[in-house]
Amino acid sequence: MKHPKLYYCPGHMSFASHVILTEIGKPFEAITVSVKDGATQSPEFKRINPKGKIPVLDTGSEILTESAAILYYLALTNPECRLVPDSAMGVSRAIEWTNWLSTILAGPVGQHVRPERFTNEEHARPGVKEKGTENLLIAYAEINDRLAGQEWALGDCYSIVDPTLLIFFKWGNQLKLDMSQFGHWCEHAKRMERRPAVQAALAAENISIW
Ligand SMILES: N[C@@H](CCC(=O)N[C@@H](CS)C(=O)NCC(=O)O)C(=O)O
């Protein structure tokens, strides 16, 4: 059987899939596609994912795109790793999180990082960026509230949601938001950093969350 291939870029959304593949502990191949250098928009990569986005998982028989789809696929094909809960409510809560996080990426994060993708008018870009930051802080405060009194995003059960939260936490620091105001999330990030698979993925991507 062919090993799965993860197309990823260090410090990007693909980090969550990288952590989960590492948690699972089976062989996989990690292929870097640089967002900064525009490799995600290259014709070669667009033959793999016409959307021009990472992560992409080549399962050996199919190409999967979208972080959440990849994460659920990895969890469901490796049930012994218990990376999503068994109960209907547990799964639904996981979907609630991953869906919400993906809208935050497509909305406020995008507006802050790439305002030019939201307006054709150059003079409007600073306003888009500013609104993106404002919305990002609102969303981050909600995430922090949700983590109050919880070890993991889904309570006692570590899941595919947790590494997704960690990459959003890293972006907060990278975008110079004051992440210390989000105390519950800081504790979550520190708990995450103690997991060997997280340490291994951070080392493999040569990134820090701080
Ligand atoms: N909806 C996708 C979005 C993924 C996404 O936005 N990836 C960004 C990096 S964080 C990307 O590949 N950007 C490349 C580009 O826009 O050229 C998902 O959740 O996987």
Best CA proximity match to 162, nearest among 39, 48, 23: 23
Protein residue whose Cα sits closest to atom 6 of ligand 1: 53
Closest ligand 1 atom, residue 114 Cα: 16
Percentage of the chain surpassing pLDDT 70?
100
Is 115 within a domain?
yes
Is residue 1 scored above 80 in pLDDT?
no
Q: Tell me, what's the pLDDT at 136?
A: 97
Q: What domain count does the chain have? A: 2
Take atom 12 of ligand 1 and give the residue whose Cα is closest. Answer: 53
Q: Is 103 in the pocket of ligand 1 (CB under 6 A)?
A: no
CB of 48 within 6 A of ligand 1: the answer is no
**Ligand 1 centroid – CA 13 distance (Å):** 7
Rounded distance, CA 155 to CA 150, Å? 5
The pLDDT of residue 161 is 98
Q: How far is CA 179 from CA 88, 127, 162, 209, in A?
A: 33, 22, 17, 11
Average pLDDT, integer, range 80-106: 97
Domain final residue, candidates 57, 81, 105: 81
Report the separation in Å between the CA atom of 149 and the middle of ligand 1, taken as the mean of its atom positions. 31
Mean pLDDT within 124-137: 97
| Average pLDDT value for the chain | 97
Structural domain containing residue 70: 5-81
Q: What is the pLDDT of residues 4-58, one digit of tens each?
A: 999 999 999 999 999 999 999 999 999 999 999 999 999 999 999 999 999 999 9
Indicate whether residue 54 lines ligand 1 (CB < 6 A): yes
What pLDDT score does 86 carry? 93
pLDDT in tens, 172-210: 999 999 999 999 999 999 999 999 999 999 999 999 999
How many Å from the N-terminal Cα to the C-terminal Cα in the chain? 38
Statement to judge: residues 153 and 110 lie in one domain: yes
CATH number of the structural domain spanning residue 27: 3.40.30.10
pLDDT, position 4? 97
Q: What is the pLDDT of residue 2?
A: 82
Amino acid 48: pLDDT: 98
Residue 207 domain flag: no
